[in-house]
Chain A
Amino acid sequence: MAPMIRVEHLVKHFAIAGSAKPLQAVSDVSFSIDRGQTLGIVGESGSGKTTIGRCVLRLIEPTSGRILIDGKDLLGLSQESLRVIRPQMQLVFQEPFDSLDPQMTVRQIVAEPLRLHAKLSSVDRRDRVLDLLETVGLPRGVADRHPHQMAAGQQQRVGIARAIATEPRFVVLDEPVSSLDPTARAEIIDLLIDLQERQGITYLFISHDLTTVRYLCNAVAVMYLGKIVEMSHTEELFERPVHPYTRALLSAVPEPDPRIRRAKFVLKGEIPSPINLPTGCHLHSRCPAAEELCRATVPELEEIRKDHWVSCLRARELGFGESLGSSSPHGATPPPDKQSDDLWLSEVSSPKS
């Protein structure tokens, strides 16, 4: 069976006023997601993850590349055919409040996609809205409220009800829980999992929050400056990370368990501008494992184990990081030949009493 979505060599550049060079938001990104599965795209500011989400829904036009939704070439579709396919692909936004019209009631917000895309009588539409509210765990009583009268977690439930109103098969979730408190975040994640299990929806989950990604996703692609630097199944990626950037990201997440003390794998400095991209490997200026070679040569994404893709010239030398999720005090243990090298900061902060 063809994957739900396949993206091939996606490129997106933005022209920048006053700059001869474009901003290279996405450079040659390929991935696919099977039906009913969730791919997480993680990365920090400027990694291009949000741009990918917009491109795969064709909300913005890619510079080049191919996007196949359910085998159909999305970029080849006319506006007319696009309108037909739109209800099957939806988006949930990061800021629930900003993405809901403050003048509309919850009922109107959830009914809007039904008015546009479903041929329902007004009575049926009314019932369908109440069903949808129930599906996302909202009491019927909120139907006549306005977004500002609800807590952020409830607002996001409204955003989700709107997104699933047309029974989409593919939903892009763009940081849907980033602005929420931890308990509301957990509730929304549980709701998304529940909806996926019941309706078989395929998710592209865009996030900078590795903890949530690990909880929700079957596979993860890590992005840095417009490129995928590592991609694999969730457990493989979290347990056996290879790319220095992935390891740095994982070691930077404060583990909500005081028994776990991770080895520090620290990147120097800040993310370079996507207008003036570094030569060679984009990470070389910050990477503690960089060598002369990395400055000049652009690494390719290579499959170094089954279903484990890494874009790093030194991937085979660096080997796999050890388990990062165990209660062992050592996280990314340095490989033996690197023990003395100060670039692998294996020192573990002593547990506080």
Chain B
Amino acid sequence: MGVLLDVRDLHVEFHTSEGVGRALNGVDLSVSEGQVLGIVGESGSGKSAIAMAMVNLVARPGRIVRGSVRYRDRDLLSESERALQQIRGREIGLVVQNPKSALNPLLTIGRQLVNVIRSHGRLNGRAAAEHAVQMLRKVGIPDPETRMHSYPHQLSGGMAQRVTIAMALSNNPRILIADEPTSGLDVTIQAQILDLIQGLVDELRSATILITRDLGIIAQHCQDVAVLYAGRVIERAPVRVFFRRPLHPYSETLIKAVSTTRQRGRKLMPGVSPSIYELPNGCALSPRCPLVQPICHELPPELRELSPGHFVRCHVRAAGDV
């Protein structure tokens, strides 16, 4: 099972009137064929920046300032835009949070789907149109022949998201990146969409990166999880290991926060995530961490493998004071 996408030391900055916002501060990730990696993070953790940076689509005022994104033997950050366009859509499919913003309001969904299929040169004319209908059927759109003529505004949010998934998967990509693909959808529709992604991923054996703030989606749909905090991966582990024994203090509070049984006086970590414009020195969690030691304010901790496959970025945990 080879690594398909390998992200190293990725840094993304936003240069605005507020100063320099450091959205990503050295992210390392990799995902293999058939693997579903979940990235979980809260607002401002950098999770959307990751999705865009992995396909080299960070928009101004943001920019990638350091790092590499290797897809097989190529570095996506040094490829030409022309080469990237061939890779995106064909080799790497992207599903974004707001499906309506990913669709062109002036074109029918059939036309858009056919365009995606044709631009990657595998099918033409009738064959492309037939493949488009097939994809719409596959993602559960009723009466796909008729729906080909619909415009995006004629679709519900759930239907529009199905269309973007059909587009992302129409060329059998090796990698699928889904950034909050179900936020804003009702829960029964969310379940349909997640099952759909899972089914297609199983069928195509694509490497999948699922970005979300919902630990339930991580627990039910991913094999591995990376927790993002202030633009860094602070913990990475197989999902079952992570939920049984989270090691990073922030991960612990995340899991406690989604508990379904009421606990008297549950202690959640106080405070809020730091602004990307004013990151603390040392560990980004240090201003609110219950385990904080003097070193945490001085030196950013490294991501260390504390048990096989379980990586944690924490001075205290790494010192074995567990």
Contacts and interface: CB of A to CB of B under 8 A. Distances in A.
Nearest to A286: B188
Given A182-B42, A187-B268, 9 more contacts: A181-B213, A182-B215, A183-B268, A210-B187, A249-B188, A254-B214, A255-B260, A256-B219, A266-B195
Interface string B146-163: 000000000010110000
A255 B258 CA distance: 9
Contact of A214 (B217, B219, B223, B260): B260
A182 B260 contact: no
Q: By CB atoms of chain A within 10 A, which of B223, B243, B260 has the most?
A: B260
Given A152-B43, A187-B268, A208-B187, A254 B216 contact: yes
A14 to B, nearest CB: 20
A258 B219 contact: yes
29 contacts: A151-B273, A153-B272, A181-B42, A181-B43, A182-B215, A182-B257, A183-B42, A183-B268, A184-B42, A184-B272, A186-B259, A186-B268, A187-B268, A252-B187, A252-B188, A254-B191, A254-B214, A254-B216, A254-B219, A255-B220, A256-B218, A256-B255, A256-B260, A259-B243, A260-B219, A269-B142, A270-B159, A325-B261, A352-B239
B256 interface: yes
A137 B256 CA distance: 19
A336 B275 CA distance: 56
B239 A258 contact: yes
A45 interface: yes
Interface of B: 36, 42-43, 142, 156, 158-159, 186-192, 194-195, 213-221, 223, 239-240, 243, 253-262, 266, 268-269, 272-273
Q: Is the interface of B mostly helix, strand, loop or mixed?
A: helix
A255 B215 CA distance: 8
A248 B36 CA distance: 25
B158 A270 contact: yes
A51 B253 CA distance: 35
The 8 closest A-B pairs by CB, nearest first: A254-B216, A186-B257, A252-B191, A181-B42, A44-B186, A254-B220, A256-B215, A256-B258
Contacts of A211: 216, 258, 260
Contacts of B255: 256
Please report whether the interface of chain A is mostly helix, strand, loop or mixed according to DSSP: loop
Contacts of B257: 182-183, 185-187
A196 interface: no
A261 B186 CA distance: 20
A189 to B, nearest CB: 9
B268 A190 contact: yes
A256 B216 contact: yes
Determine the interface band of chain A, counting residues with CB < 8 A from chain B.
Answer: 35 or more
Interface of A: 44-45, 151-154, 181-187, 190, 193, 208, 210-211, 214-215, 248-249, 251-261, 264, 266-267, 269-271, 325, 351-353
A182 B221 CA distance: 18
A44 B187 contact: yes
Contacts of A151: 272-273
Contact of A182 (B159, B187, B213, B219): B213
B191 A266 contact: yes
Contacts of A187: 257, 268
A154 B187 CA distance: 26
A134 B192 CA distance: 43
A271 B192 CA distance: 13
A267 B269 contact: no
Contact of A270 (B189, B258, B261): B189
B218 to A, nearest CB: 8
Contacts of A353: 223
B258 A182 contact: yes
A248 B168 CA distance: 28
